Chain A
């Protein structure tokens, strides 16, 4: 993860030189959205299938805030369970999202989508989430993009860099429309859940996979499924 982020940073820096967006625009997009892309960290212990094999994995990467309830979207490479094809049983989770005020809130995985390489998370205790805690990206004003459109990628540095928000300009390099819209972006070395905006600050999509941005509209269905899963799943009981 660290290496990927450094590479990403290097390439993003290279991309800056070719960018046509004025720095002021980029800074404005960062200012508007920096609290909508947070840092996820922690560890997962999970059972794989029914083989009674327990796996441990550490987790670190950016997550895009989907709604005010704290639904979060990231790439399965962040949670490192991309290879799992069936339901997984999380035995122990210490996943936490770092909020803009510096505090950390426990979250849990509620839905995985191996097709989109997406993982959706929600607060462990939704009732403990105060109003205004989460500031989502604006899903109501999404935009489509075209080849060579300017875009702004908003992500997070790793914890060695204090999870600082990182913002980089880039361009759309390819557009796949059938059967759904996915953008290619050569500068996005590893799509790890970064939010991607166009030059006017509208949400284009989310980085999910190598050089891949899944269009925002294509994510609506899985987001709805995740909302349902988060609402219907039994809350974990903790002993007093």
Chain B
């Protein structure tokens, strides 16, 4: 699914690039400023910018990323229409109203096949208690090429914006150069199979998605969705309105499934009407009825059907999909020039693809097999769990043989696994009372092969770190004294190393070393350091001594040589434990702010905090803007002076499941606050193991 999604996004970018090179639209039909004002005034207060945290599978995790799109309020109780690809995968939704107020929202329902989603404002948290301004739908069937259209939304996440253009095409399809009707897919659904877009040249940009295309009467005539070169494409309002009403009323769009894959008639077929049956999916109602590839469908449920060109197919597909579930339907087909009548009974059409679920104990993302997915994957049934993404060095990838993306898990610990819920149940049962990992027997299909493997599920207990041996260091840093540098300093022919940094309050400083000194001899031996790589040799030589030994060091300062006695102390790079703590809820790793780090970053000794060593890609910490190297000073106002305290605070925050957790950070000379807003559903942070 991801490749298609990327192609979609890529197309949007392509579109934007083209648009950027185009001159301003020279001519649009005459429309007075007053008419524009009226249209804008009727719609503008209904526009919302939707900020969304989405999840997508990557490296065995559901990575989070921020997105934004547009929407329009369509009911007084706060329902908003937008695109599925804007809000359908949303874990967190916030809508910014026309007046700047940000209102928390929820995903009500979504329909990937038409790329329509419904979001609802949490009006109880809205401060502005004035009634919502509700947008009205217009009739997209009345549109004509050349009509004026206004694209409204929040391109690139900016505030509510309006652009003007004309209707360029009322039945826009994706040409084959862009992959045809099947190119735009969301959750496995080919949107172009049921939607013919309204093409228009009002400038849109990524971020306009979900926003309304508006007629001069200020009515929604489309929902902007795609960009195709300089053309924008909007889902016709009549489709969007119907889908939105069903989503609001029942939470889904009920459709029938027949298993017919229609095509436009080939030119050489010699038949004047009908839809070519390109294929019939196995185990489908159409297959059961005896329909075959090559048949030309003449009538469906008494309705004459025709697909002369690809643009005719979405209406045909919508006709099939809209048939009541379980209805007995008569088909009239042409086969070998003769008319045949077939009868089939429609079945309910489920989703093409189920939702992705992250299973941390396995280090993978998996999903159920839907009926359509099972057919696509050539599975005998929907039993099993499809592995969507596996992590590097995860439990599944460490197994021998490893479980890979595209594999289907069938059994765990000799218990059948028919769904993600089964897998969740078996996993919990296997790990009950266990803190570490547990090896479980796993049966899985890899293509047509069936394997057995052992996966160590659970949270891997940290093995003891391997310590480096403690060795002495100079407690100062050096630079090679190249022949050129020596000559420039008037030290022709001399060898040595320039002192670039003396660690404060350490042995070199106590011995009297200063920045700018030239180290000539160490323990009586000349210091040969002409090239940068020689510096590490000097450090290596010092490591061969023992801690505590007093070593004479001859230095040159101000043209005078003198001898300092350096009592070797432990090298700071190995002297301190880093003590990392990885937090799986906030997706970050913290560790001790070491003395060496304090010296290098000039951090005062009295500044208490821990270093944020790793910020996981696509985690809550990254979403909040945290960066590796930040110093965590406090969480929710409570100081985090050391790793143990910070770990406790993080666990407390996870246990409390606060809506927002505020981190106080230091970054360079700046301090800043960052709000982390984890989603506490799906067990994130809900484990009792996280209780402080």
Contact = CB atoms under 8 A, between A and B. Distances in A.
A239 B439 CA distance: 8
Given A235-B464, A237-B436, 5 more contacts: A87-B468, A89-B466, A115-B540, A233-B464, A236-B461
Interface in B336-359: none
B398 A113 contact: no
Interface in B536-555: 540-541, 543-546
Contacts of A54: 392-393
Nearest to B551: A179
Interface in B383-436: 392-393, 398, 434-436
Contacts of A180: 544-546
Interface string B504-540: 0000000000000000000100000000000000001
Interface stretch (A8-16, A19-27, A57-65, A103-111): A103-111
A86 interface: yes
Contact of B543 (A109, A111, A115, A118): A115
A92 B466 contact: no
Interface string A73-93: 000000000000111111111
Contact of A86 (B435, B464, B468): B468
A112 B392 contact: no
B455 to A, nearest CB: 12
Contacts of B545: 179-180
Contacts of A238: 436
B438 A239 contact: yes
Contact of B458 (A108, A235, A239): A239
B600 interface: no
Given A50-B613, A50-B614, A237-B461, A87 B436 contact: no
Contacts of B398: 45, 92
A72 B436 CA distance: 28
A229 B577 CA distance: 12
A138 interface: no
B578 interface: yes
A67 B211 CA distance: 75
Contacts of B471: 113, 115
A91 B461 CA distance: 9
A126 to B, nearest CB: 12
A133 interface: no
Given A113-B469, A222-B469, A240-B434, A179 B578 contact: no
A134 to B, nearest CB: 20
9 contacts: A47-B393, A89-B465, A93-B463, A111-B466, A114-B468, A116-B469, A179-B523, A179-B541, A239-B439
A90 B463 contact: yes
A234 B577 CA distance: 14
Most interface-central of B392, B434, B437, B463 (chain A CB within 10 A): B463
A180 B613 CA distance: 37
B463 A221 contact: no
A93 B463 CA distance: 10
A203 to B, nearest CB: 20
A52 B436 contact: no
Nearest to B578: A87
B573 to A, nearest CB: 8
A90 B435 CA distance: 19
A111 B458 CA distance: 28
A225 interface: yes
Q: Which 10 A-B pairs have the closest CB atoms?
A: A233-B464, A113-B469, A239-B438, A54-B393, A115-B543, A229-B467, A239-B436, A237-B461, A179-B545, A237-B436
Contact of B464 (A116, A118, A234, A239): A234
Contact of A91 (B439, B458, B463): B463
B470 interface: yes
A108 B464 contact: yes
A240 B541 CA distance: 48
B465 A233 contact: yes
Contacts of B460: 91
Contacts of A45: 393, 398
B466 A179 contact: no
A116 B523 CA distance: 20
A234 B523 CA distance: 40
A125 to B, nearest CB: 13
B544 to A, nearest CB: 5
Contacts of B439: 239
A221 B458 CA distance: 39
Given A86-B468, A111-B466, A239 B393 contact: no
A87 B434 contact: no
B422 to A, nearest CB: 21
Most interface-central of B439, B461, B462, B464 (chain A CB within 10 A): B464
A10 B543 CA distance: 35
A9 to B, nearest CB: 31
Nearest to A85: B468
A73 to B, nearest CB: 12
Nearest to B541: A179
Contacts of B546: 180, 221
B435 A237 contact: yes
B464 A115 contact: no
A171 B458 CA distance: 54
A212 to B, nearest CB: 13
Contact of A236 (B392, B464, B467, B470): B464
A109 B466 contact: yes
B363 to A, nearest CB: 12
Contacts of A90: 463, 466
Contacts of A226: 469
Contact of A87 (B435, B467, B543): B467
A50 B465 CA distance: 13
A74 to B, nearest CB: 14
A115 B465 contact: no
A179 B465 CA distance: 29
A115 B546 CA distance: 12
Given A115-B543, A179-B544, A239-B436, A110 B467 contact: yes
Contacts of B578: 87
A111 B464 contact: no
Interface string B444-483: 0000000000000010111111111111000000000000
Contacts of B437: 239
A234 B435 CA distance: 15
Nearest to A47: B393
B308 to A, nearest CB: 55
A240 B435 CA distance: 10
Nearest to A52: B392
Interface in A184-216: none
Nearest to B434: A239
A98 to B, nearest CB: 22
A178 B613 CA distance: 39
Interface in A39-72: 45, 47, 50, 52, 54
Interface string B568-602: 00000100001000000000000000000000000
A150 to B, nearest CB: 27
A116 B392 CA distance: 33
Contacts of B463: 89-91, 93, 108, 236
Contacts of A109: 466
Contacts of A179: 523, 541, 544-545
Contacts of B465: 87-89, 233
Contacts of A47: 393
Given A234-B464, A236-B463, A225 B438 contact: no
Given A179-B523, A221-B546, A111 B438 contact: no
